Amino acid sequence: MAWYSQNGRDLPWRKTRDPYAILVSEVMLQQTQVERVIPRWRAWLERWPTVEALAAASPADAIVEWQGLGYNRRAVSLHRAASIVADRGWPDDLVELPGVGPYTAAALGNFAFGRDVLPVDTNVSRVQERTGEGFDGSCAQALFDLGATVCLARIPRCDSCPLEKRCPSRGQRFEPLRKQSAFEGSFRQRRAVALRAVAAGEQPTDGDALVSLARDGLVVLSEGAATLPA
């Protein structure tokens, strides 16, 4: 924690306890790098500053605003979650919300509702496995940053680590993790191209991509035409 007080990243969602703002950040961060998320998170909250404001928007608006962040199903899930919260309030069991799994529920519970629960992402898991230590919820943000900037996946910067002297993995090197398949030329890219076309009012000809998008609730297919959900 002393290390974090001097080295923690200055991230805007760390300055709020608003559960809606934190949910938006966590959903955006699920598959997107921090640097890309920061301006998009700010733009999203400027457009829809409250959960009620997002719930009043259409799924189509949310999908269009999400463009460029990837994995567009997250926009639909976030809109559905906002609609539920606006109607019923925040559930005690946060995994009841669409798109919220155990990790996101733990992060939201900790950062918004003050619960002593540790959200374990890849970075936190790596630090725990290498050190053999257990941590409580108060260490979450410090562990995020330690894993992201010091305890790196392949070549950790042990000389800069506050846990170096008691870490049994000190000085080790690790095999690279399996990389995600390339986006260029993939079916994911075809889906993205098709969704951008529909959002622009065009009719793409990639039928397989459109069927996949419709299955995820990102487009509506009717009489041979594709539109965004109203």
Question: How many CA atoms lie less than 13 Å away from 226 in the CB half-sphere?
Answer: 26
CA angle, 203 then 189 then 225, to 5°: 15
CA torsion 87→81→79→73, rounded to 10°? -160
CA torsion 116→44→198→219, rounded to 10°? 30
154 membership: H or E segment, kind and range: none
Whole-Å CA distances, 86 to 54, 56, 90, 203: 9, 9, 8, 34
Whole-Å CA distances, 60 to 82, 140, 191: 14, 34, 16
Query: Which of these is catalytic: 26, 129, 133, 202?
Result: 26
Phi then psi dihedrals of residue 97, to 5 deg: -80, 140
Establish whether 26 is a catalytic residue. Answer: yes
227 membership: H or E segment, kind and range: strand 225-227
CA torsion 19→23→25→27, rounded to 10°? 170
Are the beta carbons of 191 and 153 closer than 8 angstroms? no
> Which positions are annotated as active-site residues?
26
